[in-house]
Structure 1
């Protein structure tokens, strides 16, 4: 007879965080998918360019913690659909600067407004203090594990 396993997956923090992330992003995902046909990586590229302006795919990958291959595929799809342009650096031919087009900027402004409303709705059941604490704790958990005692 197998030994009783007392590990509770439902209380395992990485599992809970993943469940919360998936559940909390579903409705917003439907908006960017329905309005613009975007996938998750594409809206993240859109928001990075909307917020920070001109960036390279590598810079977006590093900031968003997304594998560069996924960012490159998203960039190609977004360029095809005219949400962004790529400009090759004349000094370094390997470097391409990405910038939103007018269509991309309009999509960003639209989705930014939706994101603000959605964020407020997600936090509706929390006090301002609880919401601030939740954001603070999540930012702390999002830092690399270096020195946090992971096995």
Structure 2
């Protein structure tokens, strides 16, 4: 019978690595911009596809409904995101960046890219390409097993 050794269990290792990188990013976003990770994710996704429902944002970010809702409320309260009625579905709203939200995105995005560069500074271009390819394959494999 095979023995599970947590430090060799790839899903665990992936989670630990993800948590460490997220912690670095979260600390920077909070201290520099007063944003939580969920709030930044919504801003970034909305910036790429303006006018999105909370359901679409949840799918795009893989965050649960409650997390998306709380982040959206916080961003609306800060004047970074606006809610407009959804003409195609009266039960939902479309979220879009306000001018202040767009300005914040334009300030945060370069910092995000800088943090990414720092985290991966010890990797060659070839290793990064291979890593991205492996992540794509991993996500596709997990998606096939995901009941959602």
* TM-score (norm. length: structure 2): 0.88
Q: Does 1:25 align with 2:46?
A: no
Instruction: List per-residue Cα deviations over 1:114-140 (Å, max 9, x = no partner).
Output: 111111112211111101101111122
Instruction: List per-residue Cα deviations over 1:71-114 (Å, max 9, x = no partner).
Output: 11110111011110001124532120101111111111111101
SS in structure 1 opposite 2:74?
A: helix
Contact 2:38 2:67 in 1 (8 A): yes
- Where does residue 44 of structure 1 map in the other structure? 41
Map residues 109-128 of structure 1 onto 2, 5 A cutoff: 109-128=106-125
Instruction: List per-residue Cα deviations over 1:19-57 (Å, max 9, x = no partner).
Output: 111111222211211133222211110110112222111
Unaligned runs of at least 5 residues, structure 1: none
Partner of residue 97 from structure 1, selected from 94, 97, 113: 94
- Where does residue 128 of structure 2 map in the other structure? 131
SS in structure 2 opposite 1:145?
A: helix
Distance 1:55 1:146 in 2: 22
* TM-score (norm. length: structure 1): 0.87
SS in structure 2 opposite 1:85?
A: strand
Which has more helix, going by share of residues?
Answer: 2
Most deviating of 30-39 and 126-135: 30-39
In the superposition, relative to structure 1, how do residues 59 and 123 fare at CA in structure 2: closer, same or farther (>3 Å)?
same
- Where does residue 54 of structure 2 map in the other structure? 57
Distance 2:48 2:27 in 1: 22
Spell out structure 1 runs of 4+ moving beyond 6 A.
none
When the two chains are superposed, the root-mean-square deviation of aligned CA atoms in Å is 1.8
Distance 2:91 2:139 in 1: 30
Q: Which has the larger radius of gyration?
A: 1
